[in-house]
Chain A
Amino acid sequence: MSKGHFIFDKNKCVGCEACVIACINENGFQETGTWRNVHSSNPEKLPGIPLFNLSMSCNHCEKAVCMEYCPALAYSLSPITGAVLHSPDKCIGCQYCTWNCPYDAPKYNPITGVIAKCNLCESRLQENQKPACATLCPTGALDFKFSEMDQPTLESNFEVPIQTQPSISIKEPLKKSAPKIDKNLFKPINIKQTKNPEKSKISASKEWTLVLFTWTVSYMVAITALDIMESKPLGIKLIFLIVGAAGAGLSMLHLGKPLRAHRALLNIRKSWLSREILFFSLFYIATFFDLLVSDLPNWLILLFGIFLILSIDMLYQPVQLHWKTKLHSAQAIFITVSYYLLFSNLFWILGLLMIFRVYLFVSVNPSFNFKGQLSASLKIIRILSIMLTFISIFTNCPYWIGILIFTIGEILDRIAFYNDLELPDIKKVIASNITK
């Protein structure tokens, strides 16, 4: 059976959402997130601006990033229909696929702790029936063809992200403008002001365990690089290990299925998330062994640490799509290096790095998006912390105060990092195409 594809005609979709109910009838109730959604390009109905609907579910991409980067190998390609299938019993509930998919197709269900998504009505396809949503569309806007898609159609008529090569062909509307109206009925509208900023699915307050984990790990790797732990008393060593374990443990609890955490190591070949977990385990075990059992070469532990830090930075790549640069002021690598420089008394290099990081913080990072006045004051505190660190260095302040002040700044920066992350959001992509 050749791989089929969806056909969507923007002229015909009126946003009735029958496709959503058709999917529920076929695949069961979807209480925490319907597999198919109908997105509007102008949800606020701004006058004079056209409104198109787009019915979207999984597009069963040729380059399915959900599948490629799933650390637990919960995704597979149907050998019969070419559908990208998800096995709930293999899923660990890490939600990494929801970060990667540009169409918001995988839906995390907090009740079951795993992802659920469109299976292209695999059983219907095998009986030569189109998927339920495509058969039952009342206007014929959503359809399905049992043949492979022509590449040119894909190139020419897409306004949605196509780097994953989705199996959907979208027919553009005959009439692209909004209906003519009496403009005097409405006050002129500032589009930017009216836009209701949609809440991002990812934020520091939700992901506080990750803030803690990534900061701790960055700090631990910096300390390792300094090779100073050997000389410390056992108590300090234990605290060091416990904090690292706690960070990792909390991050694990945030999985939908913590008991399946071991599955996260299954995709070392392709997934940075698997690699992160692998290198964390190696780094942590090596450190543990080195500190409490028997000496290991420090370069080996450090190597694990560096790979760990790189893995952390790499796994956030898909959620940085909209950033001006691929760099954030609070990349894990920056935090690690900064601590290393601070502890090594390499202040002039630290100074240069911090200037660069402040530059990123102020001009490149998306807004430090805490709500209200908090945002501005936190921004100031972050920058103050750097200045105060240097003041403490060049005055006779106790050493630990400088480190504490520096750390406050680093954690705030990492909080900003998480608030700046944004999942690829099909809704926003569609809306931004219209308001351009």
Chain B
Amino acid sequence: MKIYNTACPRNCYSTCSFKVIVDKGKVEKIETQPVNRSTPEGICLKGLSYIERVNSSMRILYPMQKVDGKFNRISWDKALEVITEKLNYYKSSYGSNSILYYAASGTSGLLNGVSSNFWKLFGGTTTVYGNLCWPAGLEATRLTLGENKHNATWDLENAKLIILWGKNPAESNIHQMIPIEKAQQRGAKLIVIDPRRTPSSERADLLIQPISGTDAILALAIAKMIIDNKKHDHEFIDKYVSGFNRFEKSLENIKIKDASKECGVPVQLIEELAELIGSIKPMTLIAGFGMQRYTNGGQTVRTLLALSVITGNIGKKGACWHYANLQSYVFDKVKEPENYYPSPEMDKPFRRSIPTARLGDKMLATRNPELKMAWVERGNPITQNPDTNLTIKAFRKLDFVVVVEQFMTDTAKEADIILPAKSMFEQSDIIGSYWNPYVQLKQKVIEPPGEVKPETEIYYLLANKLGFLQEDIKNNIPEPNDKAIDSWLNKYLDEYDELSLEKLKKEPILAPGLEEIAFSDMNFKTRSGKIELYSKSAASIWGVNPIPSYKPLEEGHYRKEKKYPLGLMSPNTKNRIHSQFGNLKCIKLLDPYPIAIMSPEDANSRNIKSNEKVRVFNDRGEITIIVKLDHSIRPGNVVIVNGYWNSEGGSPNLLSKGRETDMGHGTAFHDNMVEVEKFQTNE
């Protein structure tokens, strides 16, 4: 029996450290790793489900080829031979850009860079730009503060006012609830702003439930009240903020009554919010990742951030703008969000013609050359990209699809060849976190089961088969053995005295150069060197109002019309990371089938009862699903959590539209109106 220190590489705030116990080559148990101050207790239920996930009988362990709609096991030799032949064929007949290389956030780590290296050596491919999740907010923060960073997670204990604006850490970042609870024990107030009553809001003092997508007008109304009541921080603003006067002036157009009506929050509650935000310091404003997935997402985040700025709640103990903390990504030369739209010169020979936000329709529309083949790894675009029906159509139009996967996902089912993917325990890698400030080693603790090969090995074998120059292979792709991987990682670690594989094997290490209190030096890497409430770049790069402002949602008008009057919310659940984990038996025990959640009021008016089957639909698609009633959700919303597979009954992306956010090339799939009706069988 051996105990290893490791960390979870999922696309999740917490990025927990944990210990894994291995016996006779099998992952047996998970225990806590209290050294990580951000995740000192146990890991979440998904992390615990790794015991099943890694040992699951549902795992894909061998290369498989689809013949007449059925997957048959084939040898690696055969798989690589077929793939090599196809790659050579498409490259020579149509050019390498006829191949789409698609990778998403399924697992993080430095070795992911090897994939890009391979495709560059191959001659470049078509690939996506942007990101499904958070770039609108990242860009909004970058434009305002210059960088995406926030105080160390434990500093939240020092806050006297905590605002969870559109974030539900009890499900999406459970370890954040620890400092929140400690702060409350010390007398801090907690405000939650969310159309839903989430588990995070149960201990809150105030729960504000605006109409979804109207957060910006609510924030502007609060800002106006704070400034009108002279509760803003003059000294801070004078010293560190640029564009305050223009912002103040723009607020003259805000009529509190109209704003209240637009966002559905009574004036009295807006006043209460303004009073609390204006008078309690230090305040930490925590914005979630949901709001920026609307068409107005970037500007919305800028208006929220303005509240932290005008009250001087930046760069101090207990006071920060808490969105994303990229301080542990010490190895990235270009950080998010800028690497989502790299300059074409630097990005050569890739062709970045497809925004991931509009994967389906852009795949179909791509010409010169049009797409013939796709390679998918670390992602499940059929379920997770917007407009599933269109994405499926685009994939089915291709001649040849390779998917590297652990399980038979909706995307894997579309493959011609499936290559078995490693689990987190089967190859070492270095990971950072967008929340906790540690650099961590995710250790290899077992040999891959069956014939599973890590992606780096797949690429190594392919590179040799394709006849890449040995010199190039040596510089760009590690040899398929543990020693080569270790020395590959050491190349990165050697840059920092604090870091080494030996140290990281023992425990997580705080990121070199970490600022526990972000921006405490009041050094802002913006054009003006100040916090920019007025941002010329916002206008020049994205064509939006240089001042944080409110713009109604593209589909918002449907609320007042009869056709699709309900806003579909597709938040994350504690039971999954996007489309991962939900297929496991132990998760199914707790979350057996997809459900839609709506208010009794909306259900009654549609003659729908709890636990009945309903049809949720709009012009893009429909889902037949069991409905549950929630008495505390704001009427006018229906919730289907993100990540259900189509094979389970339906991903909410069957209903979403491929749209980009107003900035950052994010994906605005939350701008999504639907109608719900009782399910009638056509008999």
Contacts and interface: CB of A to CB of B under 8 A. Distances in A.
Nearest to B202: A51
Interface string B1-44: 00000000000000000000000000001111000000111111
A363 interface: no
20 contacts: A16-B170, A18-B44, A18-B48, A20-B590, A21-B48, A29-B585, A34-B589, A44-B631, A47-B631, A50-B202, A135-B42, A139-B181, A175-B184, A179-B206, A181-B208, A184-B266, A186-B599, A186-B601, A186-B635, A194-B631
A18 B44 CA distance: 6
Contacts of A50: 202
Contacts of B31: 135-136
Contacts, number: 145
Of the four ranges (under 10, 10 to 19, 20 to 34, 35 or more), the interface on chain B belongs to 35 or more
Contact of A25 (B30, B264, B589): B30
The majority secondary structure among interface residues of chain A is loop
A45 B184 contact: no
Interface in A321-351: none
Given A17-B574, A47-B631, A182-B265, A174 B42 contact: no
B203 A137 contact: no
B192 interface: yes
Given A14-B174, A139-B181, A186 B48 contact: no
Contact of B48 (A25, A140, A175, A184): A25
A246 to B, nearest CB: 39
Interface residues of A, number: 45
A81 interface: no
B185 to A, nearest CB: 7
A413 to B, nearest CB: 32
Interface in B192-218: 192, 197, 199-209
A22 B48 contact: yes
A285 B45 CA distance: 56
B574 A16 contact: yes
A433 to B, nearest CB: 16
A215 interface: no
B209 A181 contact: yes
A161 to B, nearest CB: 24
B169 to A, nearest CB: 8
B201 A138 contact: no
Nearest to B635: A185
Given A11-B185, A185-B634, A137 B42 contact: yes
Interface string A21-36: 1101110011100100
A194 B630 CA distance: 11
B13 to A, nearest CB: 12
A18 B31 CA distance: 12
B181 A16 contact: no
A12 interface: yes
- Residue among A138, A175, A178 with the most chain B CB within 10 A? A138
A26 B48 CA distance: 10
B48 A45 contact: no
A231 interface: no
A140 B178 contact: yes
Interface of B: 29-32, 39-45, 48-49, 51, 170-171, 174-175, 177-178, 181, 184-185, 192, 197, 199-209, 264-266, 269, 574, 585-586, 589-590, 599-601, 610, 629-635
Contacts of B269: 182
A411 interface: no
B266 A47 contact: no
Interface in A166-189: 173-175, 178-182, 184-187, 189
Nearest to A189: B631
Nearest to B14: A138
A45 B631 contact: yes
Nearest to B185: A174
Contact of B201 (A12, A16, A21, A179): A179
B589 A30 contact: yes
Contacts of A144: none
Nearest to A51: B202
Contact of B610 (A26, A47, A189, A196): A196
Interface string A122-150: 00000000000001111110000000000
Give the top 10 A-B pairs by smallest Cβ distance, nearest first: A136-B42, A14-B170, A179-B207, A45-B632, A179-B204, A21-B48, A18-B45, A21-B45, A14-B199, A138-B174
Contacts of A417: none
B29 A179 contact: no
Given A34-B589, A136-B30, A185-B209, A179 B45 contact: no
Contacts of B48: 18, 21-22, 25, 136
Given A12-B178, A175-B203, A186-B599, 15 more contacts: A11-B181, A11-B185, A15-B170, A17-B45, A18-B44, A21-B49, A50-B202, A138-B175, A139-B175, A139-B181, A174-B185, A175-B205, A180-B206, A185-B209, A185-B635
Nearest to B604: A187
- Residue among B42, B170, B266, B600 with the most chain A CB within 10 A? B42
A22 B46 CA distance: 10
A170 to B, nearest CB: 16
B179 to A, nearest CB: 11
Contact of A47 (B181, B203, B632): B632
Contacts of B185: 11, 174
Contacts of B265: 182
Contacts of A15: 170, 199
